[in-house]
Homo-oligomer: A and B are copies of this chain.
Amino acid sequence: MIETEITDFDIEELSKLIADSDERIIPKNEIFMMPNSIHKSIYFIVSGLVRTFYFDSKGGEITHWFGGKNTIAGVISSFITQKSTPYALQALEDTKVKILSYEKFVELYNTSHEFVKIASKFSVKRLIEMSDKLVVQQTKTAKERYDLLLENHSDIFQKAKLKYIASYLGITQQSLSRIRIEK
């Protein structure tokens, strides 16, 4: 049997494996990974909230993902291939992270079977999340998408600006405002 559910045990195991990694508190609002750069690290979020975002062809800022406690923040495509990416990472509140450098990642990947298993679980989990978000985007109205986010991640509404949430939902800030009132 191939287990892919991320368990508390995995988190604990991962914490041990990266126990000696650099730790950092990223202050609220800091953009700690710049767009159009090679992402040489990924981050295990110990506490706090971050988002990834990018600029669309008209220069509008689009939030692509929110990530909280016990998630891995980082642009997998850039990290794995060590190529430039348009995505940026920003802390939305003071956020404590463990920094996992590319070198350390490769080392763990080559020496720890446990690490490889956890890494592949995370990537499958992220794939399912993305796939689900696409389904929601394609089959639900703006109001329904708003309700789903509120239901599942109400904390984000306390911590992120509404314009960040609006672009995450695929609507304008004004539409989000309209939806919130109609409630």
Contacts and interface: CB of A to CB of B under 8 A. Distances in A.
Interface of A: 1-2, 4-5, 54, 56-57, 60, 62, 64, 76-77, 80-82, 105-106, 109, 116, 120, 123-124, 126-128, 130-131, 133-135, 137-139, 167, 170
B137 A134 contact: yes
Q: Which 4 A-B pairs have the closest CB atoms?
A: A56-B139, A130-B130, A127-B127, A138-B170
- Tell me if A's interface is mostly helix, strand, loop or mixed: helix
Contacts of A123: 120, 123-124, 127
Residue from A64, A82, A124 whose CB has the most chain B CB atoms within 10 Å: A124
Contacts of A167: 138
A132 B116 CA distance: 25
Contact of A2 (B80, B127, B130, B133): B80
Nearest to A121: B80
Given A1-B106, A62-B139, A134-B134, A127 B81 contact: no
